[in-house]
Amino acid sequence: MPETAIKDKCKRCMLYADSRLFCAQLSEDELCELSDRSRTLSMKRGDTLEDEALAHWPIVAIDGGVLSMQHLLQDGRKTIAAFFMRGDILDLRNVTNRNRGALIALGKVSLCRLSPAVFEQVMAQNAKAQKVIWENLRDQAFRAFDHSGDIAKKQALEKLASFIFECRNRQEHFGKTELIEIPVRRIDLAEYLGMQPETVSRCFKDLEKRGILEAQSLGAVRITNVPLLRRIANGDKDVSTGRDGEGGIKILKIA
């Protein structure tokens, strides 16, 4: 077998199979070198990427599943600051643990610890790959800015509506259907949105009662009234308080 044959582990990995993702941008030689010097890892719910492991492998690329960044307060309160999913690349080189939360899997996660040396080399040489990782990091940052805005002033119902749209934006679209996958448990969702699981539950029920969405299961919903959900997400009080029961008649107050 020639030195440059693409490894099976890479052929099975979405980072290579999806033409928009990082490994698909690499030349055969680059991919093989990166592959040889990198290590895949499977995690299950609750597993943590330990500091010690991260010191050696500070660059992590997500193949599938949902990895969370969690902040733990001293009295036990917990928050999820971010979700990382397929295609996301985390560069934790020189990130002091002061401003980095724990990285914890929220289900089965498969990821690849990339060799920092090869990563750096590819970043310097391969403009296409550089563009992909730059845009990925930029997306992560903008998603975080958005999320900060969402949880700062929005009410519970509005936060949940925004989150459903965030899921919709991130998932590969299943045709034209408004079937949205919710890839995390209620409890994680609550921690991400800064609310209690009880409140999340109540808000889902409220949206169902108003005919805005249907629960398919705990892990998926179908939006039955996209414009109305959008208005709630955008903080239109006349809708979110339920005063306008018929829905969608009132003219939007577009700034």
Partner DNA sequence: GCCCCGGATTGATCTCGATCAACATTTGCT
Partner DNA sequence: AGCAAATGTTGATCGAGATCAATCCGGGGC
Give the binding site for a copy of itself (CB under 8 A): 69, 71-75, 77-82, 91, 94-95, 99-101, 123-124, 127, 130, 134-135, 137-138, 140-154, 158, 169, 191-194, 231, 234-237, 252-255
CA dist 240 and 229 (Å) reads: 9
| 78 or 202: CB nearest a copy of itself | 78
For residue 185, state whether it binds DNA (rule: CB under 7 A): yes
Query: Strand pairing of 102-105 and 220-223?
Result: unpaired
CB 31 within 8 A of CB 118: no
Window of 109-117, 131-139, 190-198, 225-233 that interacts with DNA by CB under 7 A: 190-198
67 Cβ contact partners less than 8 Å away, ≥ 6 residues apart: 43, 49, 60, 83, 84, 85, 88, 103, 104, 105, 106, 109, 111
* Torsion sign over Cα 123, 145, 190, 243: negative
Q: Does 78 bind DNA (CB under 7 A)?
A: no
| Contact criterion met (CB below 8 Å) for 110 and 64 | yes
Selected from 16, 84, 163, 204, the binder of DNA by CB under 7 A is 204
Q: Which is nearer to a copy of itself, 120 or 208 (CB)?
A: 120
Nearest in space to 29 (alpha carbons), one of 62, 2, 61, 65: 2
Task: Candidates 127-135, 137-145, 179-187, 222-230: pick the segment binding DNA (CB under 7 A).
Answer: 179-187
Query: Which pair of tokens denotes residue 87?
Result: 């295609």
Q: Select from 5, 198, 238, 253 the one that contacts DNA (CB under 7 A).
A: 198
User: 3-state class of 48 per DSSP?
Assistant: strand
Among 218, 222, 242, 253, binds DNA (CB under 7 A): 218
In this complex, which beta carbon is closest to DNA, that of residue 90 or of residue 184?
Answer: 184
How many CB atoms sit inside 10 A of residue 195's CB? Answer: 18
Q: Which of 4, 97, 201, 216 binds DNA (CB under 7 A)?
A: 201
Q: How far is the CB of 181 from a copy of itself (least distance, A)?
A: 19
Residue 171's CB is within 10 A of a number of other CB atoms, namely 15
Radius of gyration of the CA atoms of the chain, in A: 20
Of 46, 155, 147, 141, nearest to 91 by C-alpha is 141
Shortest Å, Cβ 33 to a copy of itself: 19
Q: Which x/- pattern over 120-159 shows residues binding DNA (rule: CB under 7 A)?
A: -----------------------------------xxx--
With binding defined as CB under 7 A, does residue 197 bind DNA? Answer: yes
| Residues found near DNA in the complex (CB under 7 A) | 45, 155-157, 185-187, 194-202, 204-205, 215, 217-219, 241
